[in-house]
Amino acid sequence: MKTKHLLIIGLTASSLAIGSSQAIAASFLIDTFDVPISSPPGFPLPDTGTNPIFLNGPGQMATNTFTGPTNQVIGGQREIKFTQTTSLAPGLSSNASVFTGSGNYDGFFDLDNNSKTNSKAELTWNNMMATGQQNFNVLSGANDEKGIKIDYSSEGIAFNLQLIVFDGMNASTVTKSFNPGGVATDDSALFSFDEILMGGPVDLSMVNYVKLIITGNRGFDLSINQIGTYEIPEPSTLLGLLAVFSTGAFSLKRKTEEK
């Protein structure tokens, strides 16, 4: 199980994320993966894989849709389309599932390939029209300091993330490749609004759906812990937070010395 890198408080609230090279404030989530892979009924127990999709032949494809709470999945709907693209031997499986979380652990989407298989996963959040278009551009600051953040865990094999944002008329497509060099990695992929707007003339104040397409080299495994928007705080905000942390550390040191 993975612990989330972002602390989501509300639509426009901010929090400090620790663990990356930059302090990043969270705005609103797209998906926490704290809800299962399929539509109700059938909510599973926490910390369990839910209705995993198993494919054991090249060209096989399956689709699962979850419809549920809008405070956990943007628009209230997540669709997962999963395709096995390569198999070097018959019967070898690729699988995708959503593990729900509890306590200090949170849910995550998990994609797992055999060393001789490959697959493609397409995650689409496409029910936003039913609840009104989502305004992704409510954040302050420059477009190169805010965007969409994807927290992931990789087992070390190269993979690609393609992000598509659609406003009902125009779409933006941005693709990024990641090569962990054989080292298991917990990290975040950042798609700034600058990059998204360069990918196409999409209106970020009227987003209808978001799609994430995941591909990679044969045998790649990937877990996605959360996808949401981010913003890098202003320097004055960071200085204030550092002052708070420094004061706390000084107080702790004094208490230790007094003992």
pLDDT tens for 54-96 read 888 888 888 877 776 666 677 778 888 999 999 998 888 898 8
Question: Could you write out the DSSP letters of every residue in 169-190?
Answer: S-EEEEEEEE--TT--EEEEEE
Is 6 part of any domain? no
Sign of the dihedral defined by the CA atoms of residues 145, 32, 220, 23, in that order:
positive
Characterize the bridge pairing of strands 146-154 and 185-192. antiparallel
List b or e across 137-155, with b for residues whose CB sees 16 or more CB atoms inside 10 angstroms.
eebeeebebbbbbbbbbbb
Residue 162 lies in a domain: yes
Assigned domain for 11 exists:
no
Mean local confidence (pLDDT), 19-31: 60
Strand boundaries in 126-235, DSSP class E: 146-154, 159-166, 171-178, 185-192, 209-216, 222-231
Least confident segment among 100-104, 120-124, 179-183, 198-202: 100-104
The structure's pTM equals 0.78
**Do 78 and 31 meet the contact criterion of CB atoms below 8 Å apart?**
yes
What's the rounded mean pLDDT across residues 111-121? 93
Measured CA to CA in angstroms, residue 40 lies from 46, 71, 105, 153, 236 at distances of 15, 16, 22, 28, 46
In a domain, 201, yes or no: yes
| 192 inside domain | yes
Its domain, for residue 88, covers 16-258
Answer yes or no: is 9 within a domain. Answer: no
Is there a cis peptide before residue 180, judged by omega within 30 degrees of 0?
A: no
Instruction: Please give the distance of CA 190 from its chain centroid, rounded to a whole number.
Output: 10
pLDDT score, position 43:
41
Does residue 109 belong to any structural domain of this protein? yes
Report the pLDDT value the prediction gives residue 13, as an integer from 0 to 100: 31
Q: For residue 4, tell me if it sits in a domain.
A: no
Could you give the number of structural domains in the chain?
A: 1
pLDDT (mean) for 213-225? 95
